[in-house]
A = this chain, B = another copy of it.
Amino acid sequence: MNKLFVIVLFVSFGIFAFAQSDTLPDILTVIHSRKSVRNYTEELVSRTQLKVLVKAGMAAPTAMNKQPWFFVVIDDKEILSTLANKMMFGNMLNYASAAIVVCGDMRNVTDALPKFWVQDCSAATQNILLAAEGTGLGAVWIGVYPNKVAVKKVRKLLNLPKYIVPLNIISIGYPDGTDKPKDKWNENKVIWNKWE
């Protein structure tokens, strides 16, 4: 009977470990463990991994389902370094394995509709950041638009056509463990029903 107990315990633990390792971390864990990762190891991120991130980006909602976006995925080290040197807050791109530039496509933005493209592309960006965290990568959002100088620099470097506006650069790599999430919960920023 003792032997039986040990076998059951052993098999159960194995199955439990398998069930856990089988799944990616859950949504709330990822939302709260996501952090701005600016420090990376030298390990490279593959194109397959980057595609998982872009696919997550394109799953974001967009106003009137316009999907007014383009994603420039950079894994050329030379381009990453040039971006790092030209951007004011882009130093981490020197050490990043890759970057995704989330862009708005002005051909999908009509004057009839309020300009929701910034919101659409920001939602896509947040999806990418969460997908990175959830798949063991680290990422940080580097703001570009509406800083006109920054927009011009990125557009020139990446040879973007006039109708493509870079909203941000997401720097991506394997986290070296330095960066930690912030607890930003603040009950005073919640109002119930109506402002008094």
CB within 8 Å of B: which residues of A?
Answer: 4, 7-8, 11-12, 15-16, 18-20, 23-32, 34, 36, 51-52, 54-56, 58-61, 63, 65, 67, 69-76, 79, 105, 114-116, 118-119, 122-123, 125-127, 129-131, 133-135, 140-141, 143, 145-147, 158-161, 164, 167-168, 181-182, 184-186, 189-196
> When the two chains form their complex, are residues A26 and B28 in contact, meaning their CB atoms are under 8 A apart?
no
Which chain B positions have C-beta within 8 A of A130? 27, 31, 127, 130
Q: How many copies altogether?
A: 2
| A135, chain B: closest CB distance, angstroms | 8
In the bound complex, how far is the Cα of B132 from the Cα of A163, in angstroms? 34
In the bound complex, how far is the Cα of B30 from the Cα of A25, in angstroms? 11
> When the two chains form their complex, are residues B56 and A129 in contact, meaning their CB atoms are under 8 A apart?
no
- Selected from B52, B72, B74, B146, the residue in CB contact (under 8 A) with A114 is B146
| A55, chain B: closest CB distance, angstroms | 6
- Selected from B125, B131, B185, the residue in CB contact (under 8 A) with A28 is B131
